[in-house]
Chain A
Amino acid sequence: MAEIPESILRRSAEARAAKEGRDVEEVLAEMRGEAPPAAAAKPTAAVPGAPVGTPAAASVLPPGDMPKIPESLLRRTAEVRAKSEGRDFEEVLAEIGGGSAAPAVSPPATEAPVPVAAVPQEPVESPAPAPAPVTVPAAAPQAPASAAGGGPDLATLAEQTGVPAHLLERSFKARAQIEGKSYVPPGSDASPAPATAVAAAAGGAAAAPAAAPVAAIPEGVRTQRLLTVVKAGAIQQIKKEPTDKVNVWPHLVAIEFVAIMVVTAALFVFSVFVDAPLLEFANFNAQPNPSKAPWYFLGLQELLAYFDPQVAGVVIPGFGLVGLVIVPYIDRNPSVRPSDRKLAIMIFTFFVIAAAILTIFGSFFRGPGFNFVFPWVDGIFFDF
């Protein structure tokens, strides 16, 4: 079993404990294989036989003594495998560990009859995975996996490991190349052991299951490796809580479409009836009285009536713009509830209303010489 860092084991245990409402230490101990699973353990036991600070505990686990796999997962795996291999579900389940007592040591009794019956009819040439070899691992649980030349042939290996034969072959070739040997297909005539195995299988004798394919990879040993451990900080954390969502099509798109149509229609109607202003040709010798900036600058122009131009024209708009930009960096209050941010709303509203009043004042209440007028008395001196 791959060595799992203590911190990861611990995090996993914490998550599981939180989910199942159990004690962290208890779960941790169980995951290390030091305590019986929760079902058996008394909740009060608080088993922490192992102090937290012993990372060794995680690594000294003997192979095959993996953490318990939940029954439901085992069943699901068995179902899939049974379906893909065309075998009986119960049989597969028993093989992959439904008989939880170390399947590697004793051949699962349930599956014995089937393959024995099947073997004699199985032609040797057939590359199709025969059920027979599957039962065999029982014969040689101790056989080292590295018995490269003397193992079963590719098809058998493929069936045992679940890895497709062509991938296995490529892997063997690569390894042979690394080790500087010439590639010998496993189970070929070059090595004596598989030859006998083939012969035995060909004989179709009842002895076949016993003598034939030596399990290249014993049951219970993982065939995958831990490639890397990605630290939590190195990836973007996505904390996603389930939210109530709707499809953009049609819900949002429909609303947007209607909004666009309404605005377009309103703008068209307005444009049909109200023409954009066009006064006389530009004449630099005849300044109209009053001369006004575009309406969105009239608040500033209004300020010019009260302050020095440097203040009204530079300082105030400059501060306004910078102030707006830094709003999110000043307002550190995390809440978005209006009742929690009365001050922020008050300040912003004050400035918005001030700007609106100044703009309206500059637009409608200023006449010739930028003097104060009542628009209903002296008329409107304003053009869009």
Chain B
Amino acid sequence: MANGNGNGRVGLRERLSEAGEHIRSSEAWSSIFRPGSPFRAGYSDTPRNRSYVIMNNVLYHLHPVKVKRHAVRLSYTLCLGGLSFFLFILLTITGIFLMFYYRPTSPAAFNDIASLSTQVAFGQLTRNLHRWGAHLMVLTVFLHMARIFYHGAYKPPREFNWVVGIILLFLTLMLSFTGYLLPWDQLAIWAVTVGTNMAAYTPVFGDQVTFALLGDIQVTANTLLRWYVLHVLFFPFIIVVFMAIHFWRVRKDGGISGPL
């Protein structure tokens, strides 16, 4: 048997490549990867394959096959929108991790957070990532908005996407603010008390607004449960819907705006 190593035995490399060949030609493999996918057809750097990589990829929902040349210039977008989205994903992942160790009830919440640093592997690191990532996301979303303004990218046909973007900025602030209460320490409850005191000045409905927000006339354990649900389910759900619209409209309105 000519296998190239001269001793007639089948080496590990041949066995592996044979097994790989077997897997790649299996029905399961070709059901996972679309025809034309580089995982099925192999990749050599041709313009056609460059298109196929995107076309046979879930990224196709986000990216077209080609974009304007100036759109990939780092100095134009500064990646702010994309980084905001990435931070959202990072926050979702770290947030799910934190949910495993957190109970939104009055004494337990604080103790769970405190024990993250002593009893959970990488617990403190994950909490740090979650908190600093959240602050960073507020910053990147705001800077993204400023970038859009200075490029005049809200002008027709992108007026509505600007509006969606403002909604996303508002939702980002709400996500961050609802998360602020969850450690249930002095910083959390008093910051939220100060923040929600302003809502009480809403004309006519002030008291009702406060009660809807807090589930009580002041910050209590009711508020904790309420804001927990808002933080881990309600606002993420809403923001994902608006993000989907936002990204869809970016492409429908002709990709990102032109250069100055």
Determine the chain B residues whose CB is within 8 A of the CB of A297 once the complex forms: 177, 194-195, 198
Closest 8 A/B residue pairs (Cβ)? A313-B198, A336-B152, A271-B128, A328-B159, A276-B131, A245-B66, A291-B190, A249-B53
* A256 partner, pick from B66, B82, B257, beta carbons under 8 A: B82
What's the least CB distance linking B144 to chain A, in Å? 13
Contact of A245 among B63, B68, B131, B185 (CB under 8 A): B68
Alpha-carbon gap, A297 to B177, bound state (A): 9
A309 at the interface (CB under 8 A from B): yes
Within the complex, the shortest CB–CB distance from A226 to chain B, in Å, comes to 32
15 additional contacts (CB under 8 A) given A313-B197, A328-B163: A245-B66, A245-B69, A246-B66, A252-B71, A271-B125, A280-B186, A281-B184, A282-B110, A282-B186, A291-B191, A314-B202, A328-B154, A331-B154, A336-B257, A338-B260
Among B29-81, those with CB < 8 Å from A are: 47, 50-51, 53-54, 59, 63-69, 71-72, 74, 79
Mark the stretch among A9-17, A59-67, A171-179, A260-268 that contacts chain B. A260-268
The answer to whether A321 touches B79 (Cβ under 8 A) is no
B258 to chain A, nearest CB (A): 7
Most chain B beta-carbon contacts within 10 A, residue among A277, A282, A341: A282
Over the window 248-291 of chain A, the binary record of Cβ atoms lying under 8 Å from chain B Cβ atoms (1 yes, 0 no) is: 11111101100110011001101110111111111110111001
Q: What is the bound-complex CA distance between A224 and B98, given in angstroms? A: 68
> Nearest Cβ in chain A — how far from B22, in angstroms?
28
Q: Dominant SS at the A interface?
A: helix
Is the C-beta of B101 less than 8 angstroms from some C-beta in chain A? no
Instruction: Provide the bound-state CA to CA distance between A243 and B201, in Å.
Output: 53
A372 at interface by CB-CB < 8 Å: no
State which of B11-19, B132-140, B241-249 sits at the interface with chain A.
Answer: B132-140
Interface residues of A in 102-135 (CB under 8 A from B): none
- A263 to B185 Cα, complex, angstroms: 29
Binding site for B on A (CB under 8 A): 243-253, 255-256, 259-260, 263-264, 267-268, 270-272, 274-284, 286-288, 291-297, 300-301, 304, 309-310, 312-314, 317, 321, 324-325, 327-329, 331, 333-338, 341, 344-345, 348, 352, 383-384
Asked if B9 is at the interface of the complex by the 8 Å CB criterion, the answer is no
A245 to B138, CA, bound (A): 32
A384 CA to B183 CA in the complex, in Å?
13
Contact residue among A270, A352, A384 (Cβ-Cβ distance under 8 Å from B146):
A352
Partner of A314, one of B83, B131, B133, B201: B201
Contact of A276 with B132 at beta-carbon distance under 8 Å, contacts A243-B68, A247-B47, A287-B190 already known: yes
Which residues of chain B have C-beta atoms less than 8 A from A295's C-beta? 135
Residue of B nearest to A270 (CB): B132
Closest chain-A Cβ to B46's Cβ sits at a distance in Å of 11
Give the CA-CA distance A312 to B194 in the complex, in Å: 13
| Given A245-B69, A293-B195, A328-B162, A334 contacting B156 (CB threshold 8 A) | yes
B135, chain A: closest CB distance, angstroms:
6
B65 partner, pick from A247, A267, A304, A345, beta carbons under 8 A = A247
Asked if B86 and A248 make an inter-chain contact with CB atoms under 8 angstroms apart, the answer reads no
B155:A328 contact, CB within 8 angstroms: yes
Chain B interface size, as a band, is 35 or more
Q: What's the nearest-Cβ distance from chain B to residue A108, in Å?
A: 43
Closest to A286 in B: B186
Which residues of chain B are within 8 angstroms of A274 by Cβ–Cβ distance?
A: 128, 132
Please judge, given known A-B contacts A271-B125, A274-B132, A334-B156, whether A263 and B72 are in contact too, CB under 8 Å.
no
B113 within 8 Å of A by Cβ? yes
Q: A236 to B183: give the CA distance in the assembly, Å.
A: 52
A-B contact pairs, 25 of them (CB 8 A): A243-B69, A247-B47, A247-B50, A247-B66, A248-B65, A255-B72, A260-B82, A263-B136, A267-B132, A268-B125, A271-B125, A271-B129, A274-B128, A282-B185, A288-B186, A291-B194, A292-B190, A297-B194, A297-B195, A312-B198, A327-B154, A335-B152, A336-B260, A338-B150, A383-B187
Beta-carbon contacts under 8 Å, B182-240 to A = 183-191, 193-195, 197-199, 201-203, 218-219
Within the complex, the shortest CB–CB distance from A137 to chain B, in Å, comes to 44
- Report how far A337 CA is from B187 CA in the complex, Å: 45
**Docked-complex contact B156 and A253, CB < 8 angstroms:** no
Is there an interface contact between A292 and B152, defined as CB atoms closer than 8 Å? no
- Inter-subunit contact A296/B194 (CB<8 Å): no
B157 to chain A, nearest CB (A): 10
Cβ distance A88 to chain B, nearest Cβ, rounded Å: 36
Q: Does B105 contact A (CB under 8 A)?
A: no
Find out whether the CB atom of A264 lies under 8 angstroms from the CB atom of B90. Answer: yes
CB contacts (< 8 Å) of A333 on chain B: these are: 155
Query: Least Cβ distance of B172 to chain A in Å?
Result: 9
Report the bound CA distance from A310 to B198 in whole Å.
8
* Neighbouring A residues of B107 by C-beta, 8 Å: 281
**Bound-complex Cα distance A303 to B56 (A):** 52
- In the complex, what distance in Å separates the CA atom of A274 from the CA atom of B107? 25
Asked if B170 is at the interface (CB within 8 A of a chain A CB), the reply is: yes
Please give the distance in Å from A308's CB to the nearest CB on chain B.
8
Q: Which residues on A sit within 8 Å (CB–CB) of B180?
A: 294
Q: A245-B69, A271-B128, A276-B127 are in contact. Are A384 and B135 (CB under 8 A)?
A: yes
A contact residues around B153 at 8 Å (CB): 336
In the complex, which of the residues B127, B149, B190 contacts A327, with contact meaning CB atoms closer than 8 Å?
B149
Closest residue of B by beta carbon distance from A256: B82
A341 touches B125 (CB 8 A): no
